[in-house]
Amino acid sequence: MPDTIPKSALAPSRFHVVIPCYNCERYIDICLDSLRNQAFTQWTALVADDASQDRTARLASRHAADDPRITVHSGFQRAWLMGNTLATLRSLHLAPSDVVAVLDGDDFIRPDCLQRLWDAHQQGYDIVYTDETIERQKHSIGGPLLRGVPVREQAWCFSQLRSFKAYLFGLLDDATFRDESGRYFRAAGDLSLYLPMAELAGPDKVHFIPERLYFYRVHDQCNSAVMRHEQLCNNRYIRSRPALARQTTHFDFRLRLNGHQQPPASQHTPDLWSQLSELIQNEVLHQHSTIELPVTLEKSDLPRLGPAVRALLPQPYTIAVEHIILPEERDAWRAYHGLWIGEGVFLMGVPASTM
């Protein structure tokens, strides 16, 4: 068997670090030093100063002058944490597979933090987060998601540093980040970002790194100190919103079953199972993110199809099975398409006219 790494359509090639900050002059040097001292070096960072009234922007600009990977943007009017973070994310030219991490300007990260995140994203995970050290505390809130429990009904476990593939952010509409009055969340905004993205990604795509690679500061300007009531109200409101269904737009790999492009009758065509077996043996999907097989799918094949396709690649990689159909076949297959048929395997109908 060839020893290859799967070439996922969602394999990341860029790592962006967003650093929202407000009045962080006591901490921003330490924060940016920790970033510049990372073992993983292929990153870019945007420091988003939320109209600070101190020297935060000036100090950050010194780092930018020394390191071309760092850019600083200073707002003229305070947008608060969520408004500032959103404006920064939307200013980036993100590809769906880009990795984004949000590092608070008053915190810092351990030297191997970004490398650990990057490695996990390369393995097919779409949300990756580390454990953290909380200043003057022995405990941590970090932990893996509970299986089989709705994300919004779980205790908050998304410790920092948190990172995600950009396509997840792109699937969220603006209302996701607004409170009952219609303004962007000023407190607990991280729940409005990560709970919906975890729902969209699905549990197999979320990965927790149990090492404490992030240092979280506790001081008198933290939201938990100055906006505690608003934080708790927003927490409950975000959790009360309807859950989002797992997304079915972005997949690591696509397997196209097209029985309408059969080879000449003189040429023998192996059946579906023989072709899938050959794909497994030769690790063909490790070399291409999309493969087309000239086979006709029968409804009687469906119970075996999900497990057989899942065997092509390890989890957490997702696979879309694109079943090519003629217009006259649509009604007959309507009840079978648009469904998950295996762990991370989704069956969709694709009209032949669109190919």
35-75 pLDDT, tens digit each:
999 999 999 999 999 999 999 999 999 999 999 999 999 98
Mean per-residue pLDDT, 315-329:
96
Domain architecture of the chain: domains with CATH: 15-240 (3.90.550.10), 253-354 (no CATH)
User: CA-CA distances (angstroms) from residue 225 to 14, 22, 187, 219, 229?
Assistant: 35, 15, 11, 8, 9
Residue 106 and residue 118 in contact, taking contact as beta carbons nearer than 8 Å:
no
pLDDT at 1: 37
Residue 330 and residue 319 in contact, taking contact as beta carbons nearer than 8 Å:
no
Classify the C-alpha dihedral 240-246-247-251 as positive or negative: positive
Q: What's the angle, vertex CA 344, arms to CA 338 and CA 349, rounded to 5?
A: 25
Which residue, among 187, 197, 257, 195, has the nearest Cα to 229 in the 3D structure? 187
Residues of the chain by 3-state class (helix, strand, coil), percent to 5: 35, 20, 45
Q: What is the pLDDT of residues 85-98, one digit of tens each?
A: 999 999 999 999 99
Q: 166: Cβ–Cβ under 8 A, 6 or more apart, which residues?
A: 92, 94, 95, 96, 97, 98, 99, 100
Mean per-residue pLDDT, 214-239:
85
Q: What is the pTM of this model?
A: 0.94
Q: 224: Cβ–Cβ under 8 A, 6 or more apart, which residues?
A: 218, 231
